Amino acid sequence: MKYKDYYDILGVPRSASLDDIKKAYRKLARTHHPDMSKAPDAEVRFKEIGEAYATLKDEAKRAAYDELGHPAAGAEFRPPPQWQEDFTPGGMSFEDLDLADLLAAMGRGQRAGPQRSMPVKGRDYESSVSITLEDARRGSTVNLTLADGAGERTLQVTIPPGASQDQKLRLRGKGGKGVNGGPDGDIYLHIKLAPHKVFRPDHQDLYFDLALTPWEAALGAEVEVPTLDKPVLLTVPPGTRSGRKLRLRGRGLAPDHSDLYAMVRIDVPTALSTRERELFQELAKVSSFNPRAA
């Protein structure tokens, strides 16, 4: 049996509401109706559009279709084993049906005993939310608005401390309602981290640029640096070179197992006083240091 991507055929996302699906169908049906279009494949496209709409407008059929997963369009696949028993009439095999026939057979599957409809899990939904790095470290609560066949609803979602870019949270049982006693679906929430003016995340670690003077880098120093909580003192070892990473343990997005890294960049004054120039000239005379030496 070949898989047909009904969402792609209608040009809607898998989270589309029933209203969105109806609007897409009406627009495409007008465009590709054989009486309106002169394209050679108009009749085939019109049939595909109608088939997709017939499935996605029906809550039970859509839930069953979503349960099939998301194979590539045109790929060969086999539905879950229990479908053979519940959704194929008269003991027919899957080889005797195409996807449209299989979904149309729902509710009229034949068995040796009393006829029944198979429990179908509710639809899963995917959504995303953007949070600040501060909220990612401390945890936060966000309001998530979800549009489904029942209309719009708002959920309050708790994001635990230590969230990272593209992390996926599973909200069990918060998706679409199950059919025929099936379990409710889930919501998969993708975490996005908003850009920060100082810090750059890498998984749960954080990085920032630390500018040092030549004498701080050469002699060592204690400098105040920012963190997501409050400024702290960082010890710069003597002889620190540009590009070195200095680690502050436990100061990343996950307090227990991530760190903050200061990326050293040595800066020089753009304007020198007379005395500063004299001191740099004296240093140039007495120093044997040559960074370009082999």
Q: Which tens digits make up the pLDDT trace of 186-201?
A: 899 999 999 999 999 9
- Where is pLDDT greater, at 184 or 216? 216
The 8-class DSSP code of residue 197 comes to S
pLDDT of 47-103, one tens digit each?
888 888 888 888 878 887 887 777 777 777 666 555 555 554 444 444 545 566 566
pLDDT at 147 > cutoff 50: yes
In this prediction, residue 99 carries a pLDDT of: 63
Are 167 and 110 a contacting pair, CB within 8 Å? Answer: no
Cα–Cα distance measured from residue 165 to residue 170, given in angstroms and rounded to the nearest whole number: 15
pLDDT at 106 > cutoff 70: no
User: For the residues 216-231, what does the mean pLDDT come to?
Assistant: 96
- H or E stretch covering 9: helix 6-10
Report all structural domains of the chain as residue ranges with CATH numbers, in order of start.
6-104 (1.10.287.110), 125-193 (2.60.260.20), 200-286 (2.60.260.20)
pLDDT bin (cut points 50, 70, 90) of residue 178 is: confident
- Where is pLDDT greater, at 94 or 257? 257
Residues 6+ apart with CB under 8 A from 242: 217, 264, 265, 266
Give the best-scoring range by mean pLDDT among 35-44, 62-71, 203-212.
203-212
pLDDT at 279 > cutoff 90: yes
pLDDT at 223 > cutoff 90: yes
In this prediction, residue 69 carries a pLDDT of: 74
CA angle 230, 231, 232 (to 5 degrees): 115
